[in-house]
Amino acid sequence: MNPLRFLWGFLLLALIAFADEQTDCNPLNKTCPADPALGTEHTWWLNSTLDDSLWDMATGTPEYTSDGAEFSIKTENGSTLLESNFYIFFGVMEAHVKMAKGAGIISSVILQSDDLDEIDWEWVGYNTSGVQSDFFGKGNTTTSDRGGNHAVSNADTEFHNYTTYWDQDRLEWWIDGDLVRTVNYSEPLTVYGKNYPQTPCRVKVSCWPVGLASQSIGNIEWGGGLVNWTNLPFTMEVQKIRVKDFHTAKEYTYSGHTGSYDSINVISGNSTAKTEIEKTPAKSLSDKWDDLGTGAHIGVYVGAAVAGALAIAGLVWYCIRQRRKGRLERALAEGDENSSATELDALKKQWRQSDWNASYTPLKQ
Ligand SMILES: *[C@@H]1O[C@H](CO)[C@@H](O)[C@H](O)[C@H]1NC(C)=O
Ligand SMILES: *[C@@H]1O[C@H](CO)[C@@H](O)[C@H](O)[C@H]1NC(C)=O
Ligand SMILES: *[C@@H]1O[C@H](CO)[C@@H](O)[C@H](O)[C@H]1NC(C)=O
Ligand SMILES: *[C@@H]1O[C@H](CO)[C@@H](O)[C@H](O)[C@H]1NC(C)=O
Ligand SMILES: *[C@@H]1O[C@H](CO)[C@@H](O)[C@H](O)[C@H]1NC(C)=O
Ligand SMILES: *[C@@H]1O[C@H](CO)[C@@H](O)[C@H](O)[C@H]1NC(C)=O
Ligand SMILES: *[C@@H]1O[C@H](CO)[C@@H](O)[C@H](O)[C@H]1NC(C)=O
Ligand SMILES: *[C@@H]1O[C@H](CO)[C@@H](O)[C@H](O)[C@H]1NC(C)=O
Ligand SMILES: *[C@@H]1O[C@H](CO)[C@@H](O)[C@H](O)[C@H]1NC(C)=O
């Protein structure tokens, strides 16, 4: 095996494991890694592959068309989940969406923080003339009196502009330029601010089935009954998403465990997201090749031949060394690789389940 590839594999696993742990960490209980900020404003058109350093397709695979990205449930009990790797600490989220149609199917675009503050748009698949607004503070799902219902025409066949405006004083839901709902920081519904969403959030886009026998009766009713799986696939489509962070920060950290906005440290600097967004698109390899002259081409060929010879020599040397190192040591190294892969799987499962339970299951009871 190529030693470099081996090393990269390890590094990648370690990085993914780290990213997962971060998602897992609830700052109300623990000291968690910093949340990388968006720190700017940007519009993503979903007619071409999203930058995977900014967005993570945690479940499922999107299909990009000239209209936008399709998020489809293609198999029984399947679901999709796209999430941003960046966070905003107050800001605007504008999504242009066609909901998935079908009883028991939920399309959602939400902002969610590490301590489970949440601001939602949710489309319930049996009703193509409406959308629901909702919010949660610190994962408090003891009551479900916070939801709002709003009329939209042909929500499954037409893109509409669903915009959330969020600052420390108020929360607003806008549809196609009309303000349809406001929640103030301090009112009974927010338990006078205590359950007002107020910590750095990331964007999550999901199409998922609530109409499953394993769900509570309340949830099944909310979704309009059990999913009829003969009608697969169920497809939600997103044309574009604009996200604006109200801070031009590098990252956000929690000080203490209150989860209140004044406990959030705004670390200044350029965010990696901003740097990534602003970098000029990389030239393709063949463009770069064409940019070089003939002389340079010949030089590159010669260089490549020398490099190839060196690489072969290196490989031979490496193989001999590996043989000397002995079977046990190699077996241990391989065992390590396997066990971290298993651990990673377990972590992901655990996180998805907890995420699922925390954010969705108890929504409507
Ligand atoms: C803190 O952690 C405990 C156990 O890990 C959990 O039961 C509890 O719900 C957590 N509290 C919060 C506020 O997340
Ligand atoms: C995506 O849509 C935008 C806006 O219409 C357009 O500028 C861009 O060229 C499109 N990209 C692709 C790959 O079609
Ligand atoms: C769909 O939602 C809209 C807006 O809340 C509501 O007016 C309408 O009655 C709902 N339709 C059904 C079939 O529940
Ligand atoms: C959770 O929300 C309910 C109703 O909104 C409220 O009565 C309760 O005090 C909240 N619990 C916490 C821990 O904030
Ligand atoms: C979407 O709605 C928001 C809120 O009204 C508005 O600021 C924004 O300009 C709208 N976007 C488009 C593309 O019209
Ligand atoms: C929210 O605050 C505004 C003024 O800032 C007020 O006009 C409005 O009635 C409040 N809404 C609620 C639901 O308390
Ligand atoms: C889907 O989930 C239900 C439980 O809600 C289960 O009974 C069923 O066997 C699952 N189907 C598949 C194909 O996994
Ligand atoms: C499921 O959908 C199919 C096709 O639309 C229909 O023929 C069938 O009756 C539906 N099943 C149930 C239980 O509604
Ligand atoms: C942020 O990036 C800009 C260029 O885009 C640069 O001028 C500035 O020095 C950077 N700031 C920090 C704190 O690195």
Q: 104 near 211, Cβ under 8 Å?
A: yes
Q: Give the distance, in angstroms, between the CA of residue 51 and the centroid of all CA atoms in the same chain.
A: 12
Distance, CA 141 to ligand 4 centroid (Å)?
Answer: 8
Q: Is 115 in contact with 139 (CB distance < 8 Å)?
A: yes
Ligand 9 contacts (CB < 6 A) are: 269-270
Same domain, 103 and 65: yes
Q: Tell me the catalytic residues.
A: 118, 122
Instruction: Answer yes or no: is 365 within a domain.
Output: no
Residues with Cβ within 8 Å of 275's Cβ and at least 6 positions away in sequence, in order, are: none
| Model pLDDT, residue 143 | 79
Residues 337 and 222 reside in one and the same domain = no
The burial class, CB within 10 Å (0-12 / 13-18 / 19+), for 93 is: buried
Query: What is the rounded distance in angstroms from the CA atom of residue 173 to the CA atom of residue 257?
Result: 29
Residue 87 belongs to a domain with what CATH number? 2.60.120.200
Regarding whether 308 and 241 lie in a shared domain, the answer is no
The answer to whether residues 190 and 41 belong to one domain is: yes
In whole angstroms, how far apart are CA 278 and each of 54, 140, 274, 275, 288? 12, 38, 6, 5, 20
**End-to-end distance of the chain based on CA atoms, in angstroms?**
54
Q: How far apart are CA 78 and CA 90, in angstroms?
A: 32
Residue 180 burial (CB < 10 Å; 0-12/13-18/19+)? middle
Q: What is the pTM of this model?
A: 0.79
- Could you tell me if 260 and 353 lie in one domain? no
Structure confidence by residue, pLDDT tens digits, 90-117? 999 999 999 999 999 999 999 999 999 9
- Distance between CA 289 and CA 298 in Å, rounded? 12
Cα Rg of the chain, angstroms: 24
CB 236, CB 70: distance < 8 Å: yes
Q: Is residue 133 part of a domain?
A: yes
Asked if residue 41 and residue 187 are part of one domain, the reply reads yes
Ligand 3 center from residue 124 Cα (angstroms) = 10
Same domain for 153 and 12: yes
The structure tokens 């990696």 sit at 272
Nearest atom (ligand 7) to Cα of 75: 13
Asked, for residue 240, whether it belongs to a domain, the answer is: yes
Q: Which of 228, 232, 234 gets mutated to test ligand 8 (max ligand atoms within 8 A of its CB)?
A: 228
Whether 51 is in a domain gets the answer yes
**Residue 255 structure tokens:** 């000080």
pLDDT digits (tens, 9 = 90+) for 238-270: 999 999 999 999 999 999 999 999 999 999 999
Where is the domain boundary, 223, 253, 278? 278
Q: 73: which strand partners?
A: 234
Among candidate residues 278, 302, 337, the one where a domain is terminated: 278
Domain count, the chain: 2
Residue 292 phi, psi (nearest 5): -80, 150
210 and 264 in a single domain? The answer is yes
Proportion of the chain above pLDDT 90, given as a percent: 68
**Residue that has been written with the tokens 């699922």 in this structure:** 356
Domain of 311, in residue numbers: 288-359
Query: 226 with 265, same domain?
Result: yes
Mean pLDDT, residues 314-320 taken together? 51
User: Average of pLDDT values for 83-88?
Assistant: 98
Tell me what pLDDT residue 254 has: 98
Name the nearest CA neighbour of 135 among 185, 89, 98: 185
Q: Output the residue whose Cα is nearest ligand 3's atom 11.
A: 127
Residues 54 and 170 both lie in one domain: yes
Which residues does residue 175 pair with via DSSP β-bridges, in sequence order?
162, 178
On whether both 296 and 253 belong to a single domain, the answer is no
Distance 270 CA to ligand 9 centre (A): 6
d(CA 99, CA 160): 10
100 C-alpha to ligand 3 centroid (Å): 15
- The answer to whether the CB of 117 is under 6 A from ligand 1 is no
Query: Distance (Å, rounded) from C-alpha 47 to C-alpha 49?
Result: 7
pLDDT over 70 for what percent of the chain? 70
Q: Are 146 and 215 contained in the same domain?
A: yes
Tell which one of 25, 26, 142 to mutate to probe ligand 1, the residue whose CB is within 8 A of the most ligand atoms.
Answer: 26
